[in-house]
Structure 1
């Protein structure tokens, strides 16, 4: 006992025991640490050395507290410079850090606007069943950057590709916003959480980063992608490097900065499309794998995801637990940012993440609903977001509008809490909390605000407006506005400027060489002032402007005079090597890039600077103890020179004076900045100044102010440049008038691209696009109104503009489709906007067509049932569709004999069979409009259990399998061409397909026979994942398409066009809508998944056949299927386009439907085996 006590005291004294309660043995492992032979758990040599360890001996401490040794630790110091405990663990609390405090950046909290306000737009937001959000609904002038989420990466070729086929149109709609806001930058975001989920792309980022060749493939592809789709930069969302639970590798830590350096270098050759931002986690667990100090050199800014700090993942976590906590708690955000400040990140490069959504929970006890109480589960999924625990802010507004509940503000945490529906609880942000978080960001000198996601907003963009107020964005408009007076084009001109310390010139800008007589070869204009050894400032000029002649002058071997040569202006100064006065940096004042410098000068009296004044006609915009940077004024009561030689003396200040009588030609919004730029490792915290400016401002002076910068460095006066020139617009109004004269003479759109009518039509569409989605002059509006408004009274400019911003159909078409639709259907829109009756298409069934050719095949059983009462019962105990026999009769290409083959489909549930809790109700598709000219199909909101008009949808029709079997036997493809493969042995289907597979797991209802398994993967009662619910009209038309039948009887169509236009239009609309349905993201993924599974099952069937017929010819049934599928879908696509073009051509006003059909084809990008 005495010996044991001595050992315990020794261990406690050494400070390496984890916990005395952690008893262990050779047969009882430690939860944490190594087990010593004395029965205790811990880390370090006293526990893990082979002489004392009996269990878990391979475990290592996170870091070395000082006396463990390398063999017992993972690292010699803690990641992210966090503190370590005496037990070898890393952390940030007082238990680890004691009284050590993080040196946080500190700035005054004022109403200054942010240089960056970043918003993510979700590419899938338009596909929600409700509360859709489209790019044109965003106000102009609030966001400086929009990130389109997400593009993907091919995991084999490393080419950047759209995530969805529908994204390409949406890319254009988002980038079109730059026409109304020329200062807006649009980035493409690549990655996201699911990108690193288990699957083909799980290690793609890591694979790229570890190889220079892969990096170059990716970067060059990205450069081409951004040029093609008009993006200005990329936002990389790698979640997460180095994390083993997110498919990361340990090598990612060192590879990531190298990858970014190479990426940035390649993008700089892309004519300005070289912006790079990076998402950062707010979690130590994931952030520790980022070498953030090395990374910051190669990116423009970080978007820190300071949301989702809590969620349902906390439940079961012993360190956190199922407690009601806000996902955007400001207290925890502060702690997360401390991880950055420990690593000297430039605060100007950090953009604070905000949320336009709430995290919701179902409370465990309705009597306890405050933060800190417990929850039972995630909040109920809402109709629009369709995700447990997530509520869009637009859905929160719906809750307010439908009830009398009121939220509670928690000011310290900067969150709102709302209790609703008795046991539901949600934390979210709004105008009040945005203001609190924005002020916090200002106080920590952050570079801006970011939102996930702008597409969670209300239709009227309420939360973006609230964010604009918090961010103090100056040019906020509720929606794109007209410029009622401008008849000129305004061009902004950038000015040459000094970079921040250790930064290169902005992409595309030019370093300015020295041109004075003392310059060395290839020497450039640089300034080391205020950098404290951390790099230099470089003088850079914008692309496209004349580069001025610059140099350093009036040194005179140390007898400096501080004078620029004639026709040059002072841009900087240096007194370090001067016996008196200062050496001056000067540039020629010709050219627009130096125009604002040419309007300004320093007051004359030097070094007695207080005496100096601004001359008549100029105003003081800044004053500095060190003039343009290194021209030190005399201290009050003392000699001139560096004021730090005597801090008690106050330096005099020289005035920077500028003419500002020109409205569009002056410095404005000038502010002192002292915390922008790269923070040096020896940063002194308070009293140390950093001499940088925000990226959109220009440094006009630098000041070593002894009162603010008493620990070193210098502050900078940073100004916004206001310099633009105006020129008379090109004669576009006359071009518009001439085009309208030609087009309105016969207002029918044409596809004859070489005709004058086509040219005039395209001019009109282009100008209407600008009018609706950018600014427009009164002259242009007047031209439109006199020409178009004279014939169509409801199509005057203001009427169209107001309608386009409020009508759901118009918003859905957006900038890429609405202008063409209006121009090509002037009469329809004139009636529609004027409130007159227009054709409304009913929601009934399409007419069952006559067969083009007999295939001796019944229609798909489900499709047939949809015409005979399948949708009548909403009972969860509705009848199953029983196994149905199908008979295939054909002639064998191999033998020439007739083959009669009987197969059976697999039973499946009717639409009334699904319970209200089944997830299939969130996969319900139908037409989303009754507009006869609108074939759009999408997710619809349907009360679970209400199956009226819905059928259970086999996305891959059963008759497709039957047609494929027929092709393999007969050798005839769907277009009646002969297959490239010989006829298959009929016994493959007649015999082998019905045998039992061996050593293969059964699927569905225990199926082992290949033919049963093939039908099962299409969807079955015991294999429901492939199913969706769809409107019966979609299901019926799709069955017709897959059977290669006529889509409508021509005699009926000719009759309806005159007597029943609604029925006529419905037939066209249903056909187009069916293809659009198959291209819906979830449906298309299901289709690709089914085809993938069919290929697997066919391969298994072939293996069985070859085992039974080892000497027979290899059937290559998968190759046969790939050939058949290609011809099958091509036949469908051509039939659709032929039908639509034929019948749209009968009615000239339907040209827009024809254009839609021309672009329609079933998307096979995800389908294996297809080109």
Structure 2
């Protein structure tokens, strides 16, 4: 019989017994198989004997159609597969296709921004870092609705986020900002789960909510609302049978209220690709009350598939073949393709393979993949984390052209599927041919530091005045020869420079805390207690004409290596060769050479193919043999170590560099000639350096760089002991590195104290 064959084909089990009811709720027949009608529900039935078919002959109403007008199989099941819609199909057996003209979906690019992403260990995106110049619409995720049907903040978020988000329009005045209400967690079991069903359940409740919503949009300057109810009518999500009709009523009444208000607010909602959840939406009528539908065409598969005995297999969560089938559900109820925006995931869903030797789609999994270092959640990796795996583990990805998705195996038994620029292009072409109206992403903050996916998603005309990344190379002097040459970083260990043009957004160090660092460590106000932008002294600001409006903005900033690169050079040039730190305070007595520069030139600076040191080449396509010096410099902040870079006002940054190389931050003779205000600014610049370094984020980056170099020194010690080939005996570089940093930092502190004393004693 069909059910037996189907179960065998997909590895499921539709057998049953008195103690093992049918998994689909059907009658358990005398034969031990599941089905409907007298054959299964009549004489000899073992369980669920009063069950009725979903549709057709043995349904409660034989004339009723399946939800969303899907096929009714010969056995009374609803579905859209060829088995259901094929031989013996009872109704709606043909799949309609939309008649629409091709479009350009990149004219509408919507980005969801996770307002809670600051909680990630790395790879965060603050309000100031949102790349709004690639977007036409920004959806702020999420706002919540309280029991009085007022808009409130999501658990754990400050209400300031919802107020401050409008500032991003300075960088893209044409941007539309929408508040996204709900989200998956909002309908989890708990205090919020009943809010949506209760709010839509009566006209009075809906009216109260609509009044509160319109007030919120007006007060905070939002351009519209996006409803993310996951999911109406779903028993497992706190839904009720009336949700679908009530949801439509809410949208209709909201549209009428907006019209009366004289405003032009946008209204959208998210829709799933799953028939199980979508069947409870009154999708056709809802579509006629909104500007568009955001289709969540991702998360088609994840670890929850393990709960289904038929689906415990690794499958892509953005499979284009399945997305196409999901859209068929919309065509069956005659939804206009122009009402749908295609969703793109900037993340991957990961699994732990049951058998590492079986790694292609369809193989079984035993659980979620390992958590990433930033998102720290098993079963999911941001695109940033996926790129890091590709760069650091040597893993290679496979392209499934038909499904328009990539997948890879890493760490032996972890499997992940994801989109990249190539598969996004394929999905855009697919959406254009169908006549969809746009593309959206979940979520902007999950992209990599270079915004690779967003750039692939966005149309060129959306990229308004974006400043490109200019790469700079950190050059360090290490035991220079007679010509005084310096060693420079090699790609991809260069770093992005901060743009001087305030009107152009910055694509660079998204993980470098642009907002927090420039806000808290870039200030040099004349009054020590004033640490706001308005308190900036003249020296820290400049006047610019922006669209005819003269504004005061911050002056020059610089990309800052938290750990001073020249400390690496001075370790060899000063500490090992001269036995002391540059301009050491206090000066040592009778310093003695530890290792001569001639040795450093041979073993540290020399590029020798037999040496084991190597770094990634540009594009992460391989590794390149380099000198040990280059290997050390690669640990500084760069495109591959953005977490070791920050943004700092140029003048204090220059003071920091002088301080760490043993040079006074200002010439004392010039200081005595300064005005009182200039003297105060000079002293504050020096203080800012220490406030900056005492920031936990900055100090973590400093220590992270130090420890990475310390580990490299240990590797060198082991290698040198085994491969010196008659070279001179030297002390442990790892131990010397530790002692050198202790002495250097102590010297910096003493020098700074001496300068502060001079500033105070010679103040005007």
Q: Under a length normalisation based on structure 2, what TM-score does the superposition of the two structures give? A: 0.62
Distance 1:382 1:24 in 2: 43
The residue number in structure 1 matching 2:692 is: 931
Q: Is structure 2 residue 154 aligned with structure 1 residue 163? A: yes
Distance 2:446 2:753 in 1: 45
Distance 1:763 1:175 in 2: 26
Contact persistence 2:341–2:436 (CA under 8 A): yes
Match of 1:477 among 443, 457, 466: 466
Contact persistence 1:151–1:163 (CA under 8 A): yes
Shift of 1:938: 13
Distance 1:336 1:386 in 2: 30
Match of 1:219 among 196, 200, 210: 210
SS at match of 1:748: coil
Shift of 1:109: 6.1
Q: What does 1:743-762 correspond to in 2, within 5 Å?
A: 747-748=526-527
Q: Is structure 2 residue 187 aligned with structure 1 residue 417? A: no
Contact persistence 2:105–2:436 (CA under 8 A): no
Q: Is structure 2 residue 319 aligned with structure 1 residue 319? A: no
Q: What does 1:181-580 correspond to in 2, within 5 Å?
A: 181-268=172-259, 272=263, 274-321=265-312, 323-468=313-458, 473=462, 475=464, 477-478=466-467
Match of 1:82 among 65, 70, 77: 70
Contact persistence 1:417–1:428 (CA under 8 A): yes
When residues 200 and 179 of structure 1 are mapped into structure 2, their CA distance, relative to the original with a 3 A threshold, is same
Q: CA-to-partner distance for each residue in 1:360-390, whole Å, 9 max, x for gaps? A: 1222333222222222321111121111111
When residues 282 and 21 of structure 1 are mapped into structure 2, their CA distance, relative to the original with a 3 A threshold, is closer
Distance 1:238 1:474 in 2: 31
Contact persistence 2:319–2:405 (CA under 8 A): yes
Q: CA-to-partner distance for each residue in 1:344-375, whole Å, 9 max, x for gaps? A: 11111101111110111222333222222222
Contact persistence 1:109–1:439 (CA under 8 A): no
When residues 76 and 800 of structure 1 are mapped into structure 2, their CA distance, relative to the original with a 3 A threshold, is same
When residues 120 and 38 of structure 1 are mapped into structure 2, their CA distance, relative to the original with a 3 A threshold, is closer
Shift of 1:225: 2.2
Q: Is structure 2 residue 123 aligned with structure 1 residue 123? A: no
Match of 1:149 among 124, 134, 141: 141
Shift of 1:173: 4.7
Match of 1:93 among 56, 81, 84: 81
Contact persistence 1:206–1:252 (CA under 8 A): yes
Contact persistence 2:100–2:337 (CA under 8 A): no
Shift of 1:196: 0.8
When residues 37 and 419 of structure 1 are mapped into structure 2, their CA distance, relative to the original with a 3 A threshold, is closer
Q: What does 1:99-110 correspond to in 2, within 5 Å?
A: 101-105=94-98
Distance 1:20 1:305 in 2: 30
When residues 92 and 327 of structure 1 are mapped into structure 2, their CA distance, relative to the original with a 3 A threshold, is same
Shift of 1:303: 0.8
Distance 1:834 1:1059 in 2: 14
Shift of 1:936: 7.5
Q: CA-to-partner distance for each residue in 1:474-522, whole Å, 9 max, x for gaps? A: 6472579999899xxxxxxxxxxxxxxxxxxxxxxxxxxxxxxxxxxxx
When residues 24 and 272 of structure 1 are mapped into structure 2, their CA distance, relative to the original with a 3 A threshold, is same
Shift of 1:759: 12
Match of 2:652 among 831, 842, 849: 831
Unaligned runs of 5+ in 1: 1-7, 9-18, 487-743, 753-757, 785-794, 813-817, 823-827, 840-928, 947-1055, 1063-1145, 1147-1171
Q: CA-to-partner distance for each residue in 1:64-113, whole Å, 9 max, x for gaps? A: x2x44636x7x811000101012211110122222855333366768x45
Distance 1:239 1:941 in 2: 43
Distance 2:371 2:14 in 1: 43
Contact persistence 1:485–1:778 (CA under 8 A): no
Contact persistence 2:295–2:342 (CA under 8 A): yes
When residues 766 and 87 of structure 1 are mapped into structure 2, their CA distance, relative to the original with a 3 A threshold, is farther
SS at match of 2:245: helix
Distance 2:329 2:699 in 1: 44
Contact persistence 1:127–1:939 (CA under 8 A): no
Q: CA-to-partner distance for each residue in 1:785-815, whole Å, 9 max, x for gaps? A: xxxxxxxxxx74xx338789x999xx99xxx
More helix by share: 2
Shift of 1:144: 1.0
Distance 1:138 1:301 in 2: 23
Match of 1:43 among 36, 49, 60: 36
Q: Is structure 2 residue 546 aligned with structure 1 residue 776? A: yes
Distance 1:365 1:942 in 2: 40
Q: CA-to-partner distance for each residue in 1:529-549, whole Å, 9 max, x for gaps? A: xxxxxxxxxxxxxxxxxxxxx
Contact persistence 2:132–2:175 (CA under 8 A): no
Match of 2:106 among 93, 108, 114: 114
Q: What does 1:615-630 correspond to in 2, within 5 Å?
A: none
Q: CA-to-partner distance for each residue in 1:552-580, whole Å, 9 max, x for gaps? A: xxxxxxxxxxxxxxxxxxxxxxxxxxxxx
The residue number in structure 1 matching 2:735 is: none
SS at match of 1:176: helix
Contact persistence 2:121–2:376 (CA under 8 A): no
Q: CA-to-partner distance for each residue in 1:261-280, whole Å, 9 max, x for gaps? A: 12233344556362111110
Q: CA-to-partner distance for each residue in 1:439-460, whole Å, 9 max, x for gaps? A: 0000110111110100102233
Distance 2:347 2:524 in 1: 51
Shift of 1:749: 7.4
Distance 1:248 1:327 in 2: 25
Contact persistence 2:105–2:431 (CA under 8 A): no
Distance 1:203 1:425 in 2: 36
Shift of 1:314: 1.6
Unaligned runs of 5+ in 2: 2-11, 88-92, 470-497, 504-522, 562-636, 661-689, 708-749
Distance 1:379 1:256 in 2: 36
SS at match of 2:227: strand
Contact persistence 1:113–1:474 (CA under 8 A): no
SS at match of 1:386: coil
SS at match of 2:133: coil
The residue number in structure 1 matching 2:622 is: none
Shift of 1:47: 5.2
Contact persistence 2:125–2:445 (CA under 8 A): yes
Distance 1:268 1:21 in 2: 53
Contact persistence 2:52–2:60 (CA under 8 A): no
Match of 1:34 among 24, 27, 33: 27
Contact persistence 1:127–1:938 (CA under 8 A): no
Q: Under a length normalisation based on structure 1, what TM-score does the superposition of the two structures give? A: 0.41
Contact persistence 2:78–2:84 (CA under 8 A): yes
State which structure, 1 or 2, has the greater radius of gyration over its C-alpha atoms: 1
Contact persistence 2:105–2:439 (CA under 8 A): no
Contact persistence 1:361–1:379 (CA under 8 A): yes
What is the aligned-residue RMSD (CA, Å)? 4.6
Distance 1:38 1:294 in 2: 44
When residues 147 and 162 of structure 1 are mapped into structure 2, their CA distance, relative to the original with a 3 A threshold, is same
Distance 1:766 1:836 in 2: 19
Contact persistence 1:128–1:939 (CA under 8 A): no
Q: What does 1:1000-1079 correspond to in 2, within 5 Å?
A: none
Shift of 1:181: 1.1
More displaced 10-residue stretch of structure 1: 31-40 or 311-320: 31-40
Contact persistence 1:465–1:478 (CA under 8 A): no
